[in-house]
């Protein structure tokens, strides 16, 4: 066995060792291959070691300059890193430092003699109780109005999940209450797990004898869960679910996460620089309509391969060996952290559709024809654009146009009941009566409406509207054009906290004819129905954001 030992390697006094219980659980019997990798893969000198038939423990001494010190500073940080490997039947348990854990995970991806303990069993055994912490990772397309990830903390955070908000997230890690069982004498309290890495941890330090007994209890708990069928916790069904490689096809986008999301030391300096460059300038992607394979930047052929319990991206690029890539597919799947996922598309209908007749109006044109922002305001009411439709159909009460740089909304309206409406307008993509459902047609205007919810507070709204985007902003009272916003602002000042507020999205791309067809018996099995689910999931999520601020969301679409 080739190890970086020196003649000074001493015997490790196990009685003096008290590690935290943080372990990677593996299946397999290749104890020699695992210990050889751990002994030879790290930098530094092994200064103490204990060998036994079913236990290896060693300490590696490392000397590194402090992170704040330059090459000539002359300071050295000395660390001693402990690794313990236990064997119990056909299982191996590894306790080691974080950088070595990361190297171990990469090594496991590339060999077949050892496997991580099945993630679904870890989920079933360890996160059935009250969840105290939950780390969520998004598999949706990156958006300025939706977080890439979430960290939840509380007494029972699984109850805070929403299928509308969280259906495009996966649970990366969780910390939950352990089951109360008479045979669990040492595993008590709360345990954390990262199932995809077969990692389990407790905030407990233990001597080696107690550590070994805790590992035995953990393996018994996991094997019991596997024998009983290993059902996923109910709350995880609200999140994205694992997908079969055979179902995935047609990659269209890749993003690269910030390498700083990985632990310090997980990447070499060269690989970190490469990841930063790819994060800022994502590679182009060419997918295939019948395969999960794809081509990066027109040259690097990438083939996803199932190795053990994880998917490996096989291709000639070092960035593929990191955990930083997310790949999006037209089939609705995403690749992230060694798995394929299918985002949940809740089937709940959006309840606030309002279908209007747009005959005689150009639904593909948002604004009047004009050469400047001021001309847009001047020309509203003399054309057949959607802006003109707003003026015609909000011909009662007080209406202003706020179109322009820094706008609150395209229009704002106050009726005689003092209901305030923020109206956002977007043109349809087609005039055809048979136009398809398109979530993309709504994505930009919905994102804008959600971002501008900050203005529903009167403390923000009044000052913003006092600074019009043009010199002569368009304003109307009961359908009659007036000068300035003075009367509108008076009505705004007269509103009280209990008055209703509404966010209105005018986007006539979806037709009632198509909507009723898809929601009826004839829509079953149609790919258009899935697109409608995705669209209504987005609208329900946006409505939830609005109702959280005592507003509501309404979407105006077309009857035809």
Work out the average pLDDT over 159-174: 85
Is the CB of residue 369 less than 8 Å from the CB of residue 383? yes
CA distance 557 to 536: 13
What's the chain's average pLDDT? Answer: 89
Is the CB of residue 22 less than 8 Å from the CB of residue 199? yes
pLDDT in tens, 476-491: 999 999 999 999 999 9
CA distance 372 to 355: 31
Work out the average pLDDT over 378-397: 94
Least confident of 96-110, 147-161, 181-195, 276-290: 276-290
pLDDT in tens, 271-294: 888 888 877 788 888 999 899 999
Map out the domains of the chain as residue ranges: 5-231, 241-342, 353-558
Is the CB of residue 201 less than 8 Å from the CB of residue 192? yes
Q: Is the pLDDT of residue 443 over 90?
A: no
- Containing H/E element for 528? helix 527-547
- The helix/strand/coil state of 202 is strand
* Exposure of 121 in the CB half-sphere (CA atoms within 13 A): 21
Q: What does the DSSP assignment read for 51-100?
A: E-SSEEEEEEEEEE--TT--TTS---EEEEEEEEEEEETTEEEEE--HHH
Q: What is the pLDDT of residue 7?
A: 52
The residue written with tokens 């359908």 in the block is 479
Sign of CA dihedral 326, 329, 334, 336: negative
CA distance 331 to 337: 19
Work out the average pLDDT over 434-463: 83
Q: Which of 112, 103, 178, 170 is nearest to 137 (CA)?
A: 170
Q: Which of 415, 400, 393, 407 is nearest to 449 (CA)?
A: 407
Q: What is the pLDDT of residue 525?
A: 62
**Contacts for 459 with CB less than 8 Å, ≥ 6 apart:** none
- The helix/strand/coil state of 259 is helix
Sign of CA dihedral 16, 21, 24, 25: positive
**Contacts for 231 with CB less than 8 Å, ≥ 6 apart:** 124
Q: What does the DSSP assignment read for 333-398?
A: EEEETTEEEE-----PPPS-EEEE--TTS-TT--S---SSHHHHHHHTTSS-SHHHHHHHHT-SSE
Confidence of residue 10 (pLDDT cuts 50, 70, 90): confident
- What are the residues facing 481 on neighbouring strands? 476
Q: What is the pLDDT of residue 415?
A: 96
The residue written with tokens 């995403």 in the block is 334
Q: Which of 337, 315, 345 is nearest to 437 (CA)?
A: 345
Q: What is the pLDDT of residue 395?
A: 93
């Amino acid at each position: 066995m080739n190890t970086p030992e020196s003649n000074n390697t001493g015997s490790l006094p196990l009685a003096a060792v008290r590690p935290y219980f943080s372990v990677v659980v593996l299946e397999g019997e290749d104890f020699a291959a695992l210990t050889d990798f751990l002994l030879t893969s790290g930098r530094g000198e092994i200064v103490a070691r204990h060998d036994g038939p079913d236990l290896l423990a060693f300490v590696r001494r490392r000397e590194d300059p402090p992170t704040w010190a330059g090459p000539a500073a002359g300071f050295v940080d000395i660390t001693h890193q402990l690794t313990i490997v236990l064997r119990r039947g056909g299982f191996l348990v590894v306790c080691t430092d974080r950088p070595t854990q990361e190297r171990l995970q990469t090594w496991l991806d590339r060999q077949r003699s050892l496997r991580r303990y099945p993630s679904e069993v870890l989920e079933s055994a360890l996160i059935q109780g009250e969840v105290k912490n939950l780390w969520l990772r998004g598999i949706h397309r990156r958006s300025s109005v939706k977080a890439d990830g979430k960290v939840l903390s509380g007494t029972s955070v699984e109850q805070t999940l929403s299928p509308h908000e969280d259906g495009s997230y996966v649970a990366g890690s969780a910390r939950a209450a352990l089951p109360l069982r008479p045979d669990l004498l040492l595993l008590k309290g709360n345990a954390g797990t990262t199932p995809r890495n077969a990692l389990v941890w407790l905030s407990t330090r233990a001597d080696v004898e107690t550590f070994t007994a805790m590992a035995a209890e953990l393996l018994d708990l996991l094997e019991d869960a596997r024998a009983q069928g290993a059902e996923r916790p109910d709350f995880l069904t609200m999140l994205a679910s694992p997908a079969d490689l055979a179902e995935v096809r047609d990659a269209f986008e890749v993003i690269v996460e910030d390498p700083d999301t990985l632990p310090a030391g997980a990447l070499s300096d060269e690989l970190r620089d490469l990841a930063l460059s790819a994060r800022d300038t994502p590679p182009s992607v060419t997918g295939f309509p019948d395969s999960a394979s794809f081509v990066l930047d027109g040259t690097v052929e990438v083939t996803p391969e199932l190795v053990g319990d994880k998917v490996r991206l096989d291709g000639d690029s070092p960035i593929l060996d990191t955990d930083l890539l997310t790949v999006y597919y037209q089939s609705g799947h995403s690749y992230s952290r060694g798995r394929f996922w299918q985002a949940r598309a809740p089937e709940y209908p959006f309840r606030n559709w309002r279908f209007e007749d747009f005959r005689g109006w150009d639904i593909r044109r948002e604004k009047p024809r004009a050469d400047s922002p001021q001309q847009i305001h001047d020309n509203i009411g003399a054309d057949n654009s959607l802006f003109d439709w707003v003026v015609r159909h909000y011909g009662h009460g007080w209406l202003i146009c706020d179109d322009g740089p820094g706008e609150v909304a395209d229009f704002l309206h106050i009726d005689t009941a003092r209901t305030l409406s923020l109206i956002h307008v977007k043109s349809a993509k087609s005039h055809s009566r048979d136009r398809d459902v398109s979530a993309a047609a709504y994505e930009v205007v919905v994102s804008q409406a959600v971002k501008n919810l900050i203005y529903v507070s009167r403390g923000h709204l009044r000052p913003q509207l006092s600074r019009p985007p043009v010199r002569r902003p368009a304003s109307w009272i009961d359908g009659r054009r007036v000068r300035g916003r003075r009367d509108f602002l008076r009505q705004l000042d007269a509103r009280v906290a209990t008055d209703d507020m509404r966010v209105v999205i005018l986007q006539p791309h979806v037709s009632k004819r198509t909507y009723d067809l898809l929601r009826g018996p004839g829509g079953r099995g149609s790919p258009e129905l899935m697109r409608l689910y995705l669209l209504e999931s987005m609208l329900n999520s946006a409505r939830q954001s609005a109702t959280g601020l005592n507003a509501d969301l309404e979407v105006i679409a077309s009857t035809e």
